[in-house]
Structure 1
Amino acid sequence: MYLVSRPKPLSDGNNQALAKAEAVSFPPGYLRFLRSFGEGTYRGWMNVQLPDPEVLKPFAEYGLWEHDADSPITERQIGECVAIGTTVDGDFLAVHPRTAQLLWLPRHAEQVTAIPLQAREREDEATYASVLDEIYRQVYGCGREGAVYYEPWTGSRDHLFLRLPPGQDQLSLPDLAGMCRAAFSPDLSIETDYSCYLFYQTLGGYVRFNYANKQEVAVMYEQEEIQAFAAIEQWLVSKGCEPYPENK
C-alpha cells in the first residue's frame, strides 16, 4: 500500500481510547491499521476514523432508513452503533457492539445492511485494507482497479487549485498530465477516463488532473515540502495554468 505522506502518530489519549475499545468486535485489522497509519482516506473513497460512539446517536430519531423484519438492527439500535468510517459521499460504516454486526448505513438509500466478512487467519495492517476492498465489492457490486493508496490526515496538508483555460492551440488536460509525468517522474500514477493522479513523496502529496472538468489541476502537498511544491507550481504556470482567485 502506497502512503501519500508520513502518517501522523495517534496521541496517547487516542491510543488509550483504542485500548478501551478492544472489547468491541471490530473488523479484522482495523485497530492495527489505525495504530500504524492513523486516521486518513483509503483509495480516495473511505475515511478511516477512530471509533465514535456518539455521532450516530441523533440518527436514531431522524427516520432516515426503513426498518422491517429483514433489517439487521432496529431504528433505536442505530444510536448504539460505533461509527468507524465514512465515505466521501456521506455513508457510514459502523459496528453494533451488542450484536457484533458490521453495518452499512447509506446516505442515498433506505435500508441499513449487514456486511458479512470472510474469516481471516491473521490480523495485520494489510488485513483491514483487504476488508475495505471487500466492503466496496459488496456495496457497489464490483471491485476496484488501480493501485492501493492511503492518505494519512497529517494536519499539515496544503493545496493549490489551478485552471487550464481553454483556447486555440492550448494543451488538453491529458496532454498536460503526460508532460508533467515526463518532467517529474511520479512514485505512483493512477489514470482513468475522469482523472489522473501523479503521486510524489517529495511533495507528500500529488498532482490531480480533473479530466471530467477539463480545466482543473490541483496540487496537494505537505507544508514542509514547499521547495518541491514551488517547482511544480512554476512548471504548471509555465504551461498556461492560472491559479484560481481564491488561492491568492
Structure 2
Amino acid sequence: MYIVSQPKPLSDCQNQALAKEDVTVYPQGYLRFLRRFGEGTYRGWLNVQLPDAEVLKPFAEYGLWEHDENSPISEQQIGECIVIGTTVDGDFLAVHPQTARLIWLPRHAEHVKAISLQAREQEDEGMYALVLDEIYRQVYGISQGESIYYEPWTGTRSHLFLRLPQGQDQLTLPELADLCQNEFPPDLSIENAYACFLFYRQLGGYVRLNYAYQQEVAVFYEQDAGQAFEVMEQWLLSKGCDAISENNR
C-alpha cells in the first residue's frame, strides 16, 4: 500500500481511548491500522476515522432509511451504532456493538445494508485494507482495480488549483499528463477515463489532472515540500496552466 505522506501519529489521549475499545466489535485490523497510519482517506473513497458513537444518534429520528423484517437493525438501533468511516459521498460505515454487525448506511439509497466478512487468520494493520476492498465490492458490486494508496490527514497539507485553457495549439490534459510523467517520473500513477493521479514522495502528495472537467489541474503537497512544489508549479505554468487558488487543507 502506497502511503501518500508521512502518517500523523495518534495522540496519547487517542491511543488510550483505543486501548479501551473492545477489539471484537470492529473489523479485523481496524484498530491496528489507525495506530500505525492515523486517520485518513483510503483510495480516495473512504475516510478511516476514530470510532464515533455520537454522530448517528440524531439519525434514529430522521427517517432516512426504510426498515422491514429484512433490515439488519431497527431504526432505533441506528442511534446505537459506532461510526468508523465515511465516504466522500456521505455514506456511513458503522458497527452495532450489541449485534456485532458491520453496517453500511448509504446517503443516496433507502435501505441499510449488513456487511458480511469472512474470518481471516491474519491480524495486522494491512488486513484492514483487504477488509475495505471487500466492503467496496459488496456495496458497489465491483472491485477496485487500481493501485492501493492511503492519504493520511496530516493537517499540514496545502493545494494549488490550476486551469489548462482549451484551444487551438493547446495541450490537452492527457497530453500534459504524459509530459509530466516523462519530466517527473512518479512514484505511483493511477489513470482512468476521469482523472490521472501522479504521486510524488518529494511532494508528500500528488498532481491530479481532472479529465472529467477537461481543464482542472491540482497539486496537493506538504507544507515542508516547498522547493519540490515550486519546481512543479513553475513547470505547469510553463506548459500553459493558469493558477486559480492556493489554500491549506
Q: Same fold (TM over 0.5)?
A: yes
CA distance in 2, matches of 1:24, 1:242: 52
Identity of aligned residues (%): 71
- Distance in 2 separating the partners of 1:33 and 1:10: 11
Counterpart in the other structure of 1:102: 102
Which residue of 1 is the match for residue 118 of structure 2? 118
CA distance in 2, matches of 1:73, 1:24: 19
The list of structure 1 runs, each at least 4 consecutive aligned residues, that deviate by more than 4 angstroms after superposition, is none
**Conservation of the 8 A alpha-carbon contact between 1:24 and 1:97:** no
Q: CA deviation at 1:167?
A: 1.6
The aligned counterpart of 2:88 is 88
- Quote the offset at 1:24 in angstroms: 5.4
Q: Describe how 1:199-218 pairs up with structure 2 within 5 A.
A: 199-218=199-218
Q: Secondary structure at the match of 1:21?
A: coil
SS in 2 for 1:49: strand
**Partner secondary structure for residue 227 of structure 1:** helix
Residue 127 of structure 1 aligns with an amino acid whose one-letter code is M
The aligned counterpart of 2:135 is: 135
Residue correspondence of structure 1 range 70-89 to structure 2 within 5 A: 70-89=70-89
Kindly state the Cα deviation for residue 125 of structure 1 after the two structures are TM-superposed: 1.1
Residues in 2 aligned to 1:242 and 1:61: alpha-carbon distance in whole angstroms = 48
What residue ranges of structure 2 are gaps of 5+ in the alignment? none
Q: Distance in 2 between matches of 1:68 and 1:172?
A: 51
Once the 2 structures are TM-superposed, how far is the Cα of residue 222 of structure 1 from its aligned partner?
A: 0.2
**C-alpha distance in structure 2 between counterparts of 1:247 and 1:9, whole Å:** 26
Deviations 1:137-174 (A, max 9, x none): 00000100111000000000000000001121000000
Aligned counterpart, 1:222: 222
Q: Tell me what 2:63 maps to.
A: 63
Conserved 8 A contact 2:205-2:222: yes
What whole-Å deviation, never above 9, does each CA across 1:56-79 have from its counterpart, x for those lacking one?
001001000011111111101000
User: Where do residues 1-248 of structure 1 align in structure 2 (5 Å cutoff)?
Assistant: 1-22=1-22, 25-244=25-244, 246-247=245-246
In the alignment, the residues of structure 2 paired with residue 109 and residue 194 of structure 1 have an alpha-carbon distance, to the nearest angstrom, of 24
Per-residue deviation at 1:22?
Answer: 2.5
User: 2:79, 2:129 → 1: CA distance?
Assistant: 27
* Cα distance between partner residues in 2 of 1:21 and 1:44: 27
Residues 92 and 106, structure 1, Cα contact 8 Å, conserved in 2: yes
5+ residue gaps, structure 1: none
Summarize deviations over 1:19-55 as a string: whole Å, max 9, x none. 1113551000000000000000000000000000000
Which secondary structure does the structure 2 equivalent of 1:123 belong to? Answer: coil
Q: Is the CA contact 1:47–1:87 (under 8 Å) kept in the aligned structure 2?
A: yes
Counterpart of 2:142 in 1: which secondary structure?
Answer: coil
Equivalent residue letter for 2:205: G
Q: Is the 8 A contact 1:39 1:50 kept in 2?
A: yes
Secondary structure at 1:121's aligned position in 2? coil
Quick check: 2:158–2:246 contact (8 Å CA) kept in 1?
A: no
Write out per-residue CA displacement over residues 171-209 of structure 1, whole angstroms, 9 at most, x where no aligned residue: 000000000000011000001011000000000000000
Whole-Å Cα distance in 2 between the matches of residues 21 and 161 of structure 1?
A: 41
TM-score normalised over the length of structure 1: 0.98
- Counterpart amino acid of residue 220 in structure 1: F
Backbone CA RMSD of aligned residues: 0.9
Between the aligned partners of 1:25 and 1:227, the Cα distance in structure 2 is: 45
